[in-house]
Structure 1
């Protein structure tokens, strides 16, 4: 499998991580899961994923802090990031967009929505 099909899924809830991993793997993505926000930047540097699916609320560091770090690092400033949150309030979406999220989904969501968002942002990044 080519490296452009790698995804880093950053989700601390095991049942949610497994459901997302399953649907993305069935669609041909190679999915690595990281449950701890403190370890994410190192995993991104090692894995070099095509897309990051990033939960907002994580142990160790928040997804918004991680996204801010990615957007200020020239190596990852344009890396497609799909933000996930259990709090679908407008202010959470606004904070994710201001931090540079490529796309945003509020929990609960259908697995098909995650797959569609990943495919959309990966295709847009490759085209642009």
Structure 2
């Protein structure tokens, strides 16, 4: 069975490159362009992993992360914050919201794939 990964990001270039990379690695890829849609998708058909941008329209990634962590039925969903917000306070906020990992943009695709494999192992 293929692991389902949701990319929640409003930057088309990031979505295209992440989708390509993840599909090449054998993952099933879903995409949400904003936080509200991401949360709806996570609740209706939970993926194994969410790559979650912090700055999105509708609902930011920190709030999406907190909402997922507040739902016991979604405890198996892994969350990797993938964002340009790289200050210590942002990282602390993401981890405090319940993220399993925090990667700042720009990122190394090789390192990102390693983190994804670790989270899904």
- Normalised by the size of structure 1, how large is the TM-score? 0.89
How far apart are the structure 2 equivalents of 1:34 and 1:14? 11
Displacement of 1:78: 3.9
Match of 2:93 in 1: 95
Alignment match, 1:66: 64
| Structure 2 CA distance for aligned equivalents of residues 112 and 47 of structure 1 | 28
CA contact (8 A) 2:48 2:76 kept: no
Secondary structure of 2:15's counterpart equals helix
The alpha-carbon deviation at position 122 of structure 1 amounts to 0.9
Q: For residues 108-123 of structure 1, what are the structure 2 equivalents within 5 Å?
A: 108-123=106-121
Q: TM-score, normalised by structure 2?
A: 0.94
Equivalent in the alignment of 1:106: 104
For structure 1, list consecutive stretches of 5 or more residues without a partner in the other structure.
124-128
Counting only pairs closer than 5 Å after superposition, residues 8-27 of structure 1 correspond to structure 2 as 8-27=6-25
CA RMSD of aligned residues (A): 1.1
Find the aligned partners of 2:116 and 2:37 in 1 and give their Cα distance.
22
Q: What is the Cα deviation at residue 111 of structure 1?
A: 1.5
Q: Once the 2 structures are TM-superposed, how far is the Cα of residue 77 of structure 1 from its aligned partner? A: 2.8
Q: Which moved more, 1:101-110 or 1:71-80?
A: 71-80
Deviation at 1:46, TM superposition (A): 2.5
Aligned pairs, how many? 121
- Gapped regions of structure 2 (runs ≥ 5): none
Contact 1:51–1:79 (Cα < 8 Å) also in 2:
yes
